[in-house]
Structures are given as structure tokens and as C-alpha cells.
Amino acid sequence: MSKPAPGHASVGKVSPGARRYALGVLVAVYTFNFIDRQILAILLPAIKAEFLVDDWVLGFLAGSAFALFYATLGVPIALLADRYNRRNLIALALAIWSGMTALSAAAGSVLQLTLARIGVGIGEAGCSPPAHSMISDYYPPEQRSTALGIFTLGISIGIMIAYLAGGWVVENIGWRAAFLIVGLPGLALALLVRFTVTEPARGSADSRIDNTPPPGIVYVARFLLLRRSFAHLAVGSGLAAFGGYAIASFFPSFLVRSHGMSPTLIGVYLGLILGIAGGAGFAGGGWMADRLGRYGRRWSMWGVAIALLAAWLCLFPVYLSDSANGALLWFLIPAVLSNFYLATTLAQAQNLVGLRMRGVAAGLMLFILNIIGLGMGPQVTGILSDLYAPALGQESMRYSLLTVASVVGPWSAFHYYRAGCYLESDLARVDDPVLGAGSLRKSGALLATMIVVLVLVIYLLLR
């Protein structure tokens, strides 16, 4: 057997205790990932008041400025994750984004704050692809969605802490202090990752080791484009994230403007709802996918489609309610169901490729998801709010969020239904070489067409 790639600790399986510990630490890392990312949402009203900027600027700050570097750099970093020690990459990335979050406290203008947020995006790009790859080598395919669902609990825990702490801090100390408080502890966690987490051998959870040279980005991209389920998964998850990031960025602003809630109260309510109900959605979605997958892998996709449709229906009373209590009560349902998609999507992206492609596959999936979701969701929502403002005044954010929810919910569900139609056959071809230029062009055209249609719809909404 040839030697393992650089940075591999061993070729044996990681013990159950070591993998549980590693998963727990990775959840903590992902928690800080979302604390540092999401703290901005609860701070936006205070930042708007200090710098006197429009909503489109806030949307750019919360979405596009971060997403451009976060999504783009995720792909080359994913390539490194298929070649080098993934644990060390995660530790370095955590140190970078935590330091840049703390540095945001010193921003003297929106431009300086934007540059700091770009730095956060650069650091956070190094988290998810290597983490997904490591978890896939800790847990076998039949447990992978559940494990990735537990990992994505970091999103809801991070959002909960960001809202609970951020709301009180911004009201009592100031928005700058919030960046320092959440940024500095990540530096200590980076050391814990580097010196206590075990790097798993690639393929150990699949009972096979592959030490062949990993393929490049172009090869993996071509491989995935030959899987039509991947194209539907990528666009469907991007649309689901579009709505999710719109809510994450501007739901606090909606509650302030339409219902007159204070930042502290918003932090408590949204922290608990998104932390507990959202966490149930992330973990429950992965658990559901593994259970439904026993009746056929397609059912894991169709279950997501049903959950997204149910969440979509419940968002209408959220935004049309006359009271804050009514809006928050209705919000409990989509807070759970709208998160069902993520763990399933991440797991299938890993299952659709060979062992030495997992990092790049995660990077490519996250690139599309974040360009559509994080890059466009907050930006479009902010622009729509500014367009509605002359006629609707303080209610412009309510109807901006309602417009976004009306479009992306059923559209995303459609793509998950179609992904399920192709998933079984695509999983059966994991070991096939990249052949068939005609099929490649057909699948590539499918993905390109779906993204072009998305851009056209957004253009028509903003016209």
C-alpha cells in the first residue's frame, strides 16, 4: 500500500470516543463560525443609525461583501482539504476569522467594516469543506446525514448565542463591544482544534483507503455535472439559503420597524426560536433523511421538498400578522422545517463522489449555495426594501421579506423533488470515470439554465 498523503495521521479507523470528541469540537467550531457571521444581523439597526446608510448597503455588508470571498475561496481551500491535513486547515481558518471579527470593533466607517467582514469571509471559507470531509471519514454512509445534522447544529447554536448576547450587548454596551466579545474566544478554540482533534484516514468509515492522487477542481466539477441530482441539489439548496439568509439578516429589522421591539427582546425571542427550533430542524432533517433513505434514497430528497413547502405556507401569517407575538408564534414552524434541507444536501454531496473528491465536492456545493443564498438573499431583500420604502415607509421590510418568501419556497421544493428523481441512478455511478461529453453538456446546460432563470426572476423583482 502506498503512503498516505501529507498530513495523515494514520490509515486506521478513529475510535468511537475520538470521533465523538472530534464531532463535538467541530460543532463548537461551526458555532463560532455562525456567531461571528450572524452577530452582524442584530447589530445592523445600530450600524445603520451610526453611519446613516440605506438598506442596500446593509444588505451588501451582511451578504455580498462576505459571500463573494467566502464562496469563491471555499473551492481552492477545498482542493487543499483533499491533499493536506484538514484539522490544521480548520484551526488556521478559525484563527483568521476570529481575529477579523474582533478587528471589526475598530471600524471607523462602513468601508472599514466591510473590509473586516471580507476578512471574516476569507477565514470562514476554510471551515466547511474540510469539516464535511473529516466527518465523512468518521461516520459511514448510513450515519452520515445524522452526523452532518449534528454538525449543522452549530448554525442554530451560533445564531442563538449571537442574538442572545448581541441584543443585550448592543443595547447596553454598544455594537463594537459585541464584535470583541464574540471574536476573541475563537483564537483559543483554534489551539484546541490543532492539538486535540485526530485527523481521520480518508475512506476509513467506508472500510477502504484510497491513496491515489486527488483529482483537480475541473475534473470534480465535470464529474458532478454528469449527475443531474447534483445540479438540482445545488440550485435547490441555494434557493432555500436565499430565503434563510434574507430572514437571518433582516428579520430583526422587520421586528424593530413593524412591531417596535427592542434589540434585547428581539435577541431573546429569536435566539431561543432559531437556537432551539432551528436546531431541531438541522438535526431532525439529517435524522429524517437517514430514516427515509431506508425506503429509497429518493425519499430523503422528497421529504425535504415536503418540509420546504410546509415552511413556505407558514411564512405568510408570519409577515402578515398584526402583532409581534403572532408573527413569532407562526415563525416557530418554518424555523424548524426550513432547515431540513441542509444536512441532507451536504451528505448527498459527499455520497455522490469518490473518496478523494469529497473536499472539492463540498466546496463546489457550498460555492453555489452561498453565491445564490448568502450573496443574493440579503442584497436583494435590502434593495427591495429600499424600492418599497417610498410607498410603504417603515413597512417596506415586511413586504420585502414576504416577496422573497413567496418566490423561493416552492421553487426550492421543486428542485428537491427533481433531485430525488435522479438520485438513485447517480449514486450507482460514483465510481464511473468522467465520460460522455454530450451528457456533460446537457447537465451543465441544465445547471446554467437554472441559475440564469434565477437571475432573471431577481431582475424582474427589482425592476
Q: pLDDT truncated to tens, each residue of the chain (463 aa)?
A: 334 444 333 344 678 888 899 999 999 999 999 898 888 888 888 888 888 888 888 888 877 777 778 878 877 887 788 888 999 999 999 999 999 999 999 988 888 998 998 899 899 989 988 998 899 889 888 788 888 888 988 888 998 888 888 888 888 888 899 999 999 999 999 999 999 998 988 777 666 655 667 777 778 888 887 888 988 999 999 999 999 989 988 898 899 999 999 888 888 898 889 888 888 888 788 788 778 777 778 888 899 999 999 999 999 999 999 999 999 999 999 999 998 888 888 888 878 887 677 777 878 888 888 888 888 888 899 899 999 999 999 999 999 999 999 999 999 999 999 999 998 888 887 666 654 444 545 555 555 665 666 566 655 555 5
DSSP H helical ranges for 338-430: 341-351, 358-392, 396-427
Domain extents in the chain: 16-462
Report yes or no: 371 and 71 within 8 Å, Cβ to Cβ. Answer: yes
Specify the CATH number for 16-462; select among 1.20.1440.230, 3.40.50.2300, 3.40.50.720, 1.20.1250.20.
1.20.1250.20
Helices 128-138 + 16-51 axis angle, to 10: 160
Residues sharing a CB contact under 8 Å with residue 135, sequence separation 6 or more, in sequence order: 23, 26, 144, 147, 148, 151
Report yes or no: 420 and 303 within 8 Å, Cβ to Cβ. Answer: no
What is residue 13's DSSP assignment? P
pTM score of the predicted model: 0.72
As a whole number of angstroms, the distance between CA 340 and CA 327 comes to: 21
The number of helix segments (H) and strand segments (E) in the chain equals: 20, 0
Report yes or no: 155 and 278 within 8 Å, Cβ to Cβ. Answer: yes
